[in-house]
Structure 1
Amino acid sequence: MRTESRKPRLLYLAYFFPPSRASGVFRARATANYFAEQGWDVTVLKAPDSFYEKVTGSVDPALTEAVDARLDIAAPPVDHFLWETDLREYGWFRGNFPVLAKRWHTWKQEKIFPDKYLSWGLAAFREGLRRHRRRPYDLIIATGNPFAAFGSAWALGRVTKRPFVIDYRDAWTLNQFTDEDTFGPGHPAWKWERRITRAATASLHVNDAMREWHAAKYPEAADRMQVVLNGWDPDVMPETPLPAPNEDRPLAFSFIGTLTPVQPIDSMIEGYQQMLEAGRHPGSRLDLYGHMGFFANNEAKLRATLGLDEPIPGVNYLGPVPKPEIATAYAASDVLLFMTGGAKYVTTGKVFEYMAAGRPIVSIHDKGCAAEELLRDYPLWFEPASLDPADVAVAMAEAGDAARKADPAVAEQARTYAATFTRYRQLERFEQWSRELVAERSSR
């Protein structure tokens, strides 16, 4: 750790932060932890735990154990207007004037900021400003979604005259799964994104395709756009033992991650079935580890949507695995099935973890997926010709052959390659850039 007479101070706006298990929470955790380890005084503004527990229903208390104890964490309040279904919890205004309350909520979305988390954004602005006046910050970073965090960072930057950075874990105005605009022409999100992007000291993107899309949309800010890949976390993904060569035992083909409707689950399951019907790797099983979506109260509906509400021979839904125990799922797997929705703009954080396991990986996604750029140099990557189940079956069978061979030299090459993609490795350059930015401003 660096030692300096005065620690640089960072205000980090991350709505989803442990114990939330929402998509992207590990990027937020790693960013805050890494800056703290590099000698920054870090304040994190997150959502209240009650939101994760009551609204999303998706928490993993074990995640908080891996949060750096040096972080100063606060949770500005959020209005549950959109999610509250219990009439007894309505306030006086909404309880007595529901139509007027709805109009007021809609007006704020249209006239102040177009994000359903606006109330938290305003509260985060007030809390960040209060703390800054007491002990000034040197840099503000906001990660989205929600993009109310971007709005807060922009407002704090204007008031405090401090630099701010926006981190696009997800796209705001681009649907990265369909390559279409998220909002129609004239929607206020377009105005706000342009305003914030122009003012930001830098913007971060998870892959080159996302950076290029934003650079084309906002060319005046293109030279301030950086790529910070997601990476994987060695503290929750320790090295797992590799299976020994064996020509006879049944193989375990595994998907490890969150199941969602945008994924080609039919191609995966039908490909697995066709592989068995062709006599390849008889007795093998398909194990599915993970949550059904990001919101617990949608699980039953999603299970039916995904076709997993009835038993499927050989297919085992094993449920979620706590992150600190995720290595046990990888250790029980022979072949990993990298299944994701979207294409050009989608990398996902899971691909890095898959590579770290050092096992054969079968891609099950549309051609052109951003993750292909990473997997191309991974020595145990198996790419189907298409999402047709017959092509998926061939790739799965070939990956199974590689798993049975279990060549230790190839596995070591795979792990050596994966080691270049830890989260901290991806954050090194950005943290150094941030440090130099603060030092330059301090010397003026």
Structure 2
Amino acid sequence: MKVLVIYYKQDAVVSTLRLGGLIKYLPEFGWEPIILTNKPSPELNKFKVITVPYDDDYIKRLPKLLRNIKNNSNILLKIIKFTWMAFFLYPDAQKYWYEPALAVVEDLLENEDIDAVISSFPPVTPHLIAKSIHENYGIPWIADLRDLWTQYGYYVYKLFPPRLYRERRLEKNTLSQADYLTIVSEPLAEKLRKIHKDSSIRIIPNGFDPEIVNQGHPLTKKFSIIYAGGLWSGRRDPRILFEAIKQLKLENKIDLNDFEINFFGPDEDRYWIQNFIKGYGLEEIVNFQGLIPRDEVIKKEWGSQLLLLLLWDNPDEKGVVPGKIFEYLAAKRPILVIGYVGGVVDDLLKQTHTGISLNNVNEIKRELLKAYSEFKCSGMVSYNGVYEEIEKYNHKEMTKKFVDVLNRVLKN
């Protein structure tokens, strides 16, 4: 059986690991993946890959007046830029990938018998391509959503009705045609059902590659905390952690010379952190390392005493399960989540015994002090993850769930 997998590879590598893991393990379940994407990837070399290159740098498409607008630019220019993007980058910056990608697929279908299509969102365009294939050729279609579409907590046009109304209508018209919708968590599925009442929806969590797991990497000599990912303009906010460390220092309960906090992420986050870090007196222990290759980040995670995951402290985060949490599961190091408590991430940590979710300064202080005391006594923070529970979230288990959906759509 052959399945066409359509996904658009963006710079946020973790977000596309779901599709990479699916593609890697599909053959073990009797499915041959054929991949339509925009960028070649070494991990896909053993598969049939159709690459349709595309430059999605939307800055190049902006009028010259709007290209160099920064956060401190004139408010009127920022409004003009936002409005321009709302209308001219609809439904996404990849919209001009649609026609050349679809043309290549039509050529493919003359030579290949494709039994099913899986498209991945975000961005929107892969779903639009899959919808056309489904309508024109009658091939069963699974629309996978790594995040919600117009219900997404970070959806930038939430307060801009002209764009929201138009895109919500597109979402309904598009996803209503899919045979199945797949999404990463039950709370997100609940939201999805509110606007896709007649759709068949299956929850398929993300996962980690069982071949990329910490086998005993040496730990750092310092009490190291690592965060790898974006801060989303401060919505994922480390300041409560900094406040907890500052207070422990003032109470003479910790020695800052033992500490090392490393952030790996985009440069805009560096400037955001630098604006306030001195106020906590932590500039000597907080290091911003920028973006480095993923395999290097993984080794840093494996060697860290604590893994930090930041969530937006907002109910919209309840069903959000960042791909990073699964990478952390494979690191086999204790996880400290700061932000929204009571969501899917919290449940996952409790199920796997891999960490704790907190959003209160005093609770964070207690947890840090407990971990720090272990570190001072033994040179390491203990790890108590339950192997059997963690293994439920590897990419093979994830692929099994996709295969079940594939088999269902074929029967229908």
* Fold conserved between structures, TM > 0.5: yes
What SS does structure 2 have at the residue aligned with 1:368?
A: coil
Counterpart contact for 1:172–1:182, Cα < 8 Å: no
Counterpart contact for 2:3–2:117, Cα < 8 Å: yes
Aligned to 1:94: none
Change over 3 Å in CA distance of 1:433–1:160 after alignment to 2: same
What SS does structure 2 have at the residue aligned with 1:316?
A: strand
What SS does structure 1 have at the residue aligned with 2:148?
A: coil
- The one of 248, 251, 269 equivalent to 1:302 is 269
- The one of 180, 196, 200 equivalent to 2:174 is 196
Q: Which moved more, 1:332-341 or 1:198-207?
A: 332-341
Matched, 1:359 2:333: yes
**Aligned residues with identical type, % of pairs:** 17
Matches of 1:367 and 1:180 in 2, distance apart? 26
Matches of 2:376 and 2:130 in 1, distance apart? 52
TM-score (norm: length of structure 2): 0.81
Correspondence 1:11-160 to 2 at 5 A: 11-16=4-9, 20-48=11-39, 64-77=41-54, 82-84=59-61, 114-160=91-137
Aligned to 2:215: 239
Tell me by how many angstroms 1:181 deviates: 4.1
Change over 3 Å in CA distance of 1:130–1:9 after alignment to 2: same
Tell me by how many angstroms 1:121 deviates: 2.0
Matches of 2:123 and 2:198 in 1, distance apart? 24
Aligned to 2:409: 437
Change over 3 Å in CA distance of 1:395–1:179 after alignment to 2: farther
- The one of 226, 247, 253 equivalent to 2:225 is 253
CA RMSD, aligned part only?
3.4
Correspondence 1:378-393 to 2 at 5 A: 378-384=352-358, 386-387=359-360, 389-393=361-365
Aligned to 1:10: 3
Unaligned 5+ residue runs, structure 2? 65-83
C-alpha deviations, 1:7-59, integer Å up to 9, x for none?
x1111111116xx444512112112222244343322222247xxxxxxxxxx
Unaligned 5+ residue runs, structure 1? 1-7, 50-63, 88-105, 293-298
Matches of 1:46 and 1:123 in 2, distance apart? 11
What SS does structure 2 have at the residue aligned with 1:122?
A: helix
Counterpart contact for 2:263–2:289, Cα < 8 Å: yes
- The one of 178, 184, 205 equivalent to 1:206 is 184
Number of equivalenced pairs: 383
Tell me by how many angstroms 1:72 deviates: 2.1
Aligned to 1:277: 250
Matches of 1:251 and 1:24 in 2, distance apart? 29
- The one of 296, 304, 323 equivalent to 2:294 is 323
What SS does structure 1 have at the residue aligned with 2:216?
A: coil
Counterpart contact for 2:116–2:139, Cα < 8 Å: yes
Matches of 2:159 and 2:131 in 1, distance apart? 22
Counterpart contact for 2:231–2:237, Cα < 8 Å: no
Matches of 1:157 and 1:403 in 2, distance apart? 56
C-alpha deviations, 1:342-398, integer Å up to 9, x for none?
5213110111222333322222112333311211223342333x34x4442222222
Matches of 1:21 and 1:358 in 2, distance apart? 23
Change over 3 Å in CA distance of 1:287–1:71 after alignment to 2: farther
Change over 3 Å in CA distance of 1:79–1:26 after alignment to 2: closer
Aligned to 1:4: none
The one-letter code matched in structure 1 to 2:285 is G
Aligned to 2:76: none
